[in-house]
C-alpha cells in the first residue's frame, strides 16, 4: 500500500543511517543516550487534533489510528527492520535504560563526596551550597600593644600625656595618680621594629609592599571640670578637633589642618571595663569613633604639575585621621579623663590598607589598673 511503499523508499534513502548508528553504539557508553528507544512520551492532544486518521487496508476496510500512537509504531518498525538486517543485536537494545535515574547516572562527576578531589568549589562547598566546615575561620594574626598611663586624680589644670608609636609616655607620677592601661592591636604583617631597614608600619605582604600609616598616637587629657562623656556627644556639632583638644596638644602635635577637617562618619561602640561599682566587677564603656579627612591648605594648578586639581576649586582629601575616644569618670564623679586614639595616614596609604587601619582603630581599649 501507499504507507508501506513510502517507508521502504525512506529506508532506501537512508542506507548510511544503520552504519552510523552501529558505530555510535559501539563507541559511546549506553548511558550517554538521553532518549532511550523503548520510551514513549505521551502528550495531551486537543480534541480537534485527536480525530482519527483513516488508513485503508488491502481489503478495503478503513482502520483508525490516533496521532499519539504514531511515534510508538515508527519506533517498532525501525527496530524490526534493523533487527532483521542484523545491524543491532537484541542485547544492545536491552542495554538502553528505560528510565533516566537522577541519582548516580552522570556523564561527568566532580571528584569525591568528601571534597578531597575535584575542583575548588567542590572542596569548599557542599552540594546544597553550604560551607563544608563552617567552624573554619581564617583570622588575621595580630600583636598587642599595651601602654600604661598615669593621670592625676585631682588635676589643677589641663594635664596631657602623649604616647607615640607604642612608646610609653613620659609623666611625673605624684602621690595622687590614677593608673590606666591603654591597648590596641597591630597586624603582624606590619613592620614594628624601629631598627629595621624598612619603614615603621611597612606592609610587605603580597600585592601591597608599602607603608600602611604615618603615625599612631594615644593621648590623655585630664581637666578639673567640664570633662565628661557629654563632651564627645557634642563633638559632631562643636567640632571634633576642638572637643578632643587636638589643637591644644603641645608643639602643634597634629597637622593644624585637622581643625578644619570634615567629619566623614561617626559611631559609638561599647566595650568592657573594670569597675568596682557594679556586680561582677565589669562594666561597659562607651567609645566614640570619628573618621576625619581634610585637603591640603594650598592646591596648586594642574598646569603646575598637580594632577589632583581638576579645576573644581578644591583638591581631594590627602590626609585621613581615624579616631576613637572615651571619657573615664573619676571615682568622686567631679571630672574625668579623656583617652583618645588617633591613627594618621595619607590617601595612598588609605587606599592600600584601609581595612587594616579600621581594624587597628577598633581594637583600641582602655581599662583601669589593678
Q: Check whether 351 has a pLDDT greater than 70.
A: yes
Amino acid 205: pLDDT = 84
Residue 218: pLDDT band with limits 50, 70, 90: very high
Higher-pLDDT residue of 292 and 51 is: 292
Q: What is the pLDDT of residue 298?
A: 73
317 has pLDDT over 80: yes
pLDDT digits 0-9 by tens, 8-32: 666 655 555 555 454 555 544 444 4
Tell me the pLDDT tens digit for each residue of 38-69: 444 445 544 444 444 444 444 444 444 444 55
Helix (H, G, I), strand (E, B) or coil at 237: helix
Question: Tens of pLDDT along 137-191?
Answer: 545 689 999 999 988 776 777 889 999 999 988 775 554 577 899 999 999 999 9
276, pLDDT greater than 70: yes
Which residue from 266, 259, 261 is spatially nearest to 236, judged by alpha carbons? 266
pLDDT number for residue 182: 95
Q: Global pTM?
A: 0.61
pLDDT at site 322: 97
The per-residue pLDDT for 242 is: 93
pLDDT of residue 223: 81
**The pLDDT of residue 323 is above 50:** yes
pLDDT at 130: 66
pLDDT bracket for residue 111 (50, 70, 90): very low
Half-sphere exposure of 349 (CA within 13 A, CB side): 22
> Greater confidence, 248 or 13?
248
Place of cell 597637622: 255
pLDDT of residue 257: 87
**For residue 228, which of 267, 285, 276 has the smallest C-alpha distance?**
285
Q: What angle do CA 59, 61, 62 make, to 5 degrees?
A: 145
What span, in angstroms and rounded, lies between the C-alpha atoms of 163 and 149? 9
Lowest mean pLDDT among 2-11, 77-86, 279-288, 321-330: 77-86
Residue 266, pLDDT score? 94
Whether residue 356 has pLDDT greater than 90: yes
Res. 88: pLDDT tops 80: no
pLDDT-based confidence at 256, cuts 50/70/90?
confident
Name the E strands within the chain: 53-56, 62-65, 142-152, 159-164, 177-187, 202-203, 210-211, 215-222, 262-274, 282-294, 319-329, 336-346, 365-368
For the chain, what is the mean pLDDT? 73
Q: Is the pLDDT of residue 343 over 90?
A: yes
pLDDT at 292: 96
Amino acid at each position: 500500500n501507499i504507507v508501506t511503499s513510502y517507508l521502504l523508499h525512506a529506508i532506501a534513502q537512508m542506507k548510511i543511517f544503520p552504519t552510523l548508528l552501529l558505530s555510535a553504539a559501539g563507541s559511546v557508553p549506553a548511558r550517554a543516550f538521553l532518549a532511550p528507544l523503548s520510551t514513549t512520551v505521551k502528550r495531551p492532544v486537543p480534541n480537534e487534533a485527536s480525530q482519527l486518521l483513516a488508513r485503508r487496508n488491502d481489503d478495503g476496510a478503513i482502520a483508525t489510528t490516533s496521532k499519539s500512537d504514531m511515534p510508538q509504531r515508527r519506533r517498532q518498525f525501525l527496530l524490526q527492520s534493523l533487527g532483521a538486517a542484523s545491524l543491532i543485536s537484541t542485547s544492545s537494545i536491552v542495554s538502553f535504560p528505560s528510565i533516566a535515574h537522577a541519582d548516580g547516572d552522570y556523564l561527568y562527576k566532580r571528584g569525591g563526596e568528601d571534597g578531597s578531589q575535584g575542583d575548588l568549589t567542590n572542596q569548599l562547598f557542599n552540594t546544597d551550597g553550604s560551607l563544608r566546615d563552617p567552624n573554619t575561620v581564617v583570622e588575621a594574626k595580630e600583636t598587642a600593644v599595651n601602654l600604661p598611663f598615669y593621670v592625676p586624680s585631682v588635676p589643677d589644670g589641663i594635664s596631657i600625656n602623649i604616647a607615640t608609636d607604642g612608646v610609653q609616655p613620659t609623666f611625673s607620677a605624684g602621690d595622687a595618680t590614677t593608673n590606666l592601661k591603654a591597648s590596641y592591636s597591630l597586624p603582624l604583617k606590619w613592620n614594628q621594629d624601629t631598627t629595621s631597614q624598612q619603614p615603621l608600619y611597612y606592609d610587605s605582604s603580597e600585592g601591597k609592599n608599602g607603608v600602611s600609616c604615618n603615625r599612631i598616637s594615644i593621648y590623655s587629657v585630664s581637666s578639673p571640670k567640664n570633662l565628661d562623656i557629654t563632651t564627645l556627644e557634642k563633638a559632631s556639632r562643636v567640632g571634633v578637633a576642638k572637643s578632643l583638644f587636638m589643637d591644644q596638644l603641645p608643639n602643634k602635635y597634629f597637622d593644624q589642618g585637622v581643625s578644619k577637617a570634615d567629619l566623614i562618619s561617626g559611631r559609638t561602640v561599647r566595650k568592657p571595663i573594670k569597675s568596682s561599682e557594679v556586680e561582677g566587677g565589669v562594666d561597659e564603656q562607651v567609645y566614640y569613633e570619628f573618621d576625619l579627612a581634610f585637603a591640603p591648605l594650598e592646591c596648586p594648578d594642574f598646569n603646575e604639575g598637580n594632577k589632583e586639581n581638576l579645576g573644581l576649586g578644591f583638591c581631594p582629601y590627602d590626609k585621613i585621621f581615624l579616631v576613637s575616644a572615651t571619657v573615664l569618670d573619676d571615682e568622686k564623679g567631679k571630672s574625668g579623663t579623656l583617652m583618645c586614639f588617633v591613627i594618621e595616614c595619607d590617601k595612598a596609604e588609605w587606599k592600600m590598607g584601609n581595612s587594616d587601619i579600621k581594624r587597628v582603630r577598633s581594637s583600641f581599649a582602655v581599662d583601669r589598673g589593678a
